[in-house]
Amino acid sequence: MASIQTRWHITGDFLENCNCTVVCPCTFSPNPPLTRVPTPGFCEWAWGFHITSGNYGDVPLDGLNVAMFGYSPGIMAEGNWSVALYLDGRASAQQRQALEAIFTGEASGPMTVFSPFFATILGVKSVPITYHIEGKRRSVEIPRILHAAVHPLPSTDPNNEIWALNAHPFSPKLAMAVGDYNSTRTDYGISWDNSGKNGHYAAINWSNA
């Protein structure tokens, strides 16, 4: 594994699509974050990431994509999550080690907010991942495994999204969104369809500085 002492920095974009109705009570409620019961009583979500530019020490990470899915059996802050990590199949061995360190929280950074809740790592796979930004729409796809896409919730200004500030550890400014039709996932014996369910997207600027 890559050393947790290595300095790193990435910028790019991320999307999220979960099985809560809009708006997700795990993030937005009178309770502290992650302490409200998810809409269906459990949470199933996908995260997709595109790294526009970045490095892990002297290992460049420009242009690479990452995806993660997870399952929480109840209130998210109570832990016991099962997660799976998918790394860009174009990445070299060094790049895969770097991405795994960053996105499991081993190398510090924003993912350490969530990594203490990871009880089961279902696996880490190197796969083809595409991440698209089309105007205000975001999508991530892994052939035969994941298709997740989100678009912004309608706002009073058709030219601008509804933005939430300081609501998510991945980014200080988060666009409120909803899952497109056919936002689905199948792997590790788990399948779900989060079409029409809660979503977010945002620019990211992460480091372990």
Among candidate residues 151, 148, 152, 147, the one with its CA nearest the CA of residue 162: 152
Report residue 55 as tokens.
Answer: 């490095």
Residue 2 forms part of a structural domain: no
- Domain span at residue 73 reads 8-207
Residue 1 forms part of a structural domain: no
Among candidate residues 207, 174, 198, 189, the one with its CA nearest the CA of residue 84: 189
Residue 3 forms part of a structural domain: no
Give the integer Cα–Cα distance in Å for 84 and 54.
23
Q: Is the pLDDT of residue 122 over 80?
A: yes
pLDDT in the model for residue 5: 79
Q: What is the mean predicted confidence (pLDDT) over 124-149?
A: 97
Residue 194 forms part of a structural domain: yes
Residue 150 forms part of a structural domain: yes
* 133: confidence class by pLDDT, cuts 50, 70, 90: very high
Total number of domains constituting the chain: 1
Q: What is the mean predicted confidence (pLDDT) over 15-43?
A: 95
State the pTM of this model.
0.95
Residue 35 forms part of a structural domain: yes
